[in-house]
């Protein structure tokens, strides 16, 4: 066995003698390739492939430690087939065995026979046999980002030149990982900022309270890559109730928003005091956390529960649960989501104030119209009626008497209708009944916030007349799912929505048909898709 932990300072370097000179052009080409490739996964795989080729190793691997989990979250390998990877199964955790030595003591490690080292443990069944080993930490400064290691050199044992070369490639890997994370954080922050701005714009366009809360829930769910976006509000009994929800693919799963809305956190729940106090709550697994008491918690894993408050006023709580077993939220996720919730709460308060001002303006305008009608129109009509009545009494001709009597009756009816109108104008305006057309337009308008453009909508047939409430609910769920699927596809710049309420279904019965077509790249396989570009989703149901 050779020495185990020679430092970089003891090595003569990858170009320390004439024997290593032939590798110099290949090394320079590899480093240049690393610097020009902007995709981090391609870069890290290129590093592993280069390391095995330059050192003559049979196997190579680069494990990346997650920024929050302190475990390997990705593993890039060379020399292993897909069959070998499937046979090995789970990723190494980076904390046990020889790999754990590199994480805990980030210094190069070189072994002639891996199997004789007592620290070599935890090798899973089916792992290829390995003896010679060379590993170095991937780090930037004092932060360890992962490990780069080689095994089974084809000719002899690994040398100091191999070690120096691997250290150089590991430093490049560290730079690539750091840059990728910084770039990812910047992109993530930009998405949240743009999302918050889009939500503010949407809320200030005049949505009612329910629509506004759904807009916040939907936007936050998409930005956080959560399974559901949920808004809870305090109840009169001292608990909190889910009043708005948005879920992934609601049209194709049993977990529709309606199945979640209405769930209540009862008074006395351990998490309730934090929520009502305006404190954020972060949960690793909703299904097993004893603080969670709602019946829907078993479906969810990592979750964020963020206060919606502005100016000391608690509007509610924004909850963003992921599926059970989903990846945990990072510190950056939590910070950005918390900032989004604060911005959304302010927008909700502003939208509510704007709505109140608009309602007040409507009341004032109606009062003015009512006064004008009463003071001017009714008085003139009444005066005219009295003049005609007086003329009729003095007139002797029978025909004239009949004619004037009819005019008086018409004026009297008009006065009654105007008075009825005045009374209606003086009443608080009730919310207009929401038609199917209106609901469809509201869904496409909300999707425009996330898509960056407004889908075009076409209606055929008496949609509002023939489409009942159950069919309308299923139609809207299918539309929501189709728009969400189009949003996830890259390259979509336009979407056309067609609703035919006079459709004849394949069995000959009358029904309603929804067709959603986008211009994105055509997906392979499946029943949808026409032409080189574009995906069409069709949904229909009987009336």
Residue 209 neighbours by CB under 8 Å, 6+ apart: 352, 355
Q: What is the pLDDT of residue 277?
A: 79
Mean pLDDT of the chain: 76
230/536 Cα distance (integer angstroms): 29
Cα 281 to the chain's mean position, in Å? 19
Check pLDDT > 50 for residue 433.
Answer: no
Give the pLDDT mean for 364-387: 69
pLDDT at 255: 45
From 427, 425, 502, select the one nearest 460 (Cα to Cα): 502
First-last CA distance in the chain: 79
Domains 8-184 and 205-345 share a fold: yes
> Tell me, what's the pLDDT at 479?
92
Q: Which whole-number Å values give the CA distances from 299 to 228, 283, 328, in the listed order?
A: 10, 14, 15
Q: What is the pTM of this model?
A: 0.51
378 half-sphere exposure, CB direction, 13 A CA radius: 15
Q: What is the CATH number of domain 205-345?
A: 3.30.450.40
User: Which pLDDT does position 529 carry in this prediction?
Assistant: 40
Phi, psi (deg, nearest 5) at residue 426: -85, -10
In tens, the pLDDT along 455-501 reads 888 888 888 888 888 888 899 889 988 988 888 888 888 898 989 98
pLDDT at 191: 84
- pLDDT over 80 at 96, yes or no: no
Query: Residue 527 pLDDT > 60, yes or no?
Result: no
**Looking at the domain that runs over 8-184, which CATH code has it been given?**
3.30.450.40
Evaluate whether the domain defined by 436-542 bears CATH number 1.10.1240.10.
no
456-460 and 313-323 strand pairing? unpaired
State pLDDT tens for residues 342-361: 888 888 777 767 666 666 66
Q: Tell me, what's the pLDDT at 414?
A: 67
Model confidence at 302: pLDDT above 90:
no
244 closest CA partner among 274, 275, 220, 213: 213
| pLDDT tens-digit series, residues 207-252 | 666 777 888 888 888 888 888 888 888 887 888 888 888 887 543 3
Q: Where are the domains of the chain?
A: 8-184, 205-345, 356-426, 436-542
């Amino acid at each position: 066995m050779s020495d185990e932990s020679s430092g970089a300072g003891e090595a003569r370097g990858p170009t320390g003698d004439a024997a290593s000179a032939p590798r110099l052009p290949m090394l320079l080409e590899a480093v240049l390739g690393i610097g020009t490739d902007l995709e981090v996964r391609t870069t890290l795989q290129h590093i592993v492939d280069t390391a095995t080729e330059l050192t003559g190793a049979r196997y190579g691997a680069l494990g990346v430690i997650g920024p929050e989990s302190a475990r390997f979250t990705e593993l890039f390998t060379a020399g292993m087939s897909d069959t070998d990877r499937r046979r090995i199964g789970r990723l190494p955790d980076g904390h046990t065995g020889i790999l754990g030595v590199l994480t805990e003591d980030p210094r190069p490690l070189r072994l002639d026979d891996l199997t004789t080292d007592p620290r070599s443990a935890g090798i899973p069944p089916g792992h290829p046999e390995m003896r010679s080993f060379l590993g170095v930490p991937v780090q930037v400064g004092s932060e360890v980002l992962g490990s780069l290691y080689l095994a089974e050199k084809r000719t002899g044992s690994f040398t100091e030149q191999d070690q120096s070369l691997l250290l150089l490639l590991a430093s490049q890997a560290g730079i690539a990982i750091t840059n990728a994370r910084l770039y990812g954080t910047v992109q993530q922050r930009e998405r949240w900022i743009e999302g918050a701005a889009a939500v503010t714009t949407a809320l200030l366009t005049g949505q009612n309270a329910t629509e506004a809360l759904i807009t916040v829930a939907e936007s936050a769910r998409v930005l956080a890559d959560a399974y559901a976006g949920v808004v809870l509000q305090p109840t009169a009994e001292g608990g909190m109730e889910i009043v708005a929800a948005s879920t992934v693919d609601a049209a194709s799963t049993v977990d529709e928003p309606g199945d979640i809305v209405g769930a209540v956190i009862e008074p006395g729940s351990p998490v309730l005091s934090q929520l009502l106090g305006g404190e954020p709550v972060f949960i690793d697994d909703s299904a097993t956390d004893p603080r969670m008491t709602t019946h829907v918690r078993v479906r969810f894993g990592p979750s964020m529960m963020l206060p919606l408050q502005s100016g000391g006023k608690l509007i509610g709580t924004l909850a963003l649960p992921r599926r059970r077993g989903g990846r945990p939220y990072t510190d950056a996720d939590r910070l950005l989501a918390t900032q989004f919730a604060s911005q959304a709460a302010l927008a909700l308060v502003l939208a509510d104030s704007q709505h109140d001002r608009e309602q007040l303006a409507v009341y004032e305008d109606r009062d003015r119209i009512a006064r004008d009608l009463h003071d001017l129109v009714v008085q003139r009509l009444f005066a005219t009626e009295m003049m005609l009545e007086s003329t009729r009494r003095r007139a002797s001709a029978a025909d004239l008497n009949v004619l004037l009597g009819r005019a008086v009756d018409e004026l009297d009816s008009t006065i009654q209708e105007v008075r009825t109108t005045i009374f209606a104008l003086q009443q608080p305006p009730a919310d207009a009944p929401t038609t199917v057309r209106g609901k469809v337009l509201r869904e496409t308008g909300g999707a425009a916030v996330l898509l960056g453009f407004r889908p075009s909508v076409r209606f055929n047939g008496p949609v509002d007349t023939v489409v009942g409430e159950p069919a309308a609910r299923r139609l809207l769920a299918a539309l929501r799912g189709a728009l969400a699927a189009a949003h996830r596809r890259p390259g979509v710049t336009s979407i056309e929505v067609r609703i035919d309420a006079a459709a004849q279904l394949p069995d000959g019965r009358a029904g309603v048909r929804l067709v959603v077509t986008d211009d994105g790249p055509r997906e392979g396989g499946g029943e949808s898709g026409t032409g080189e570009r574009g995906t069409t989703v069709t949904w229909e149901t009987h009336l």
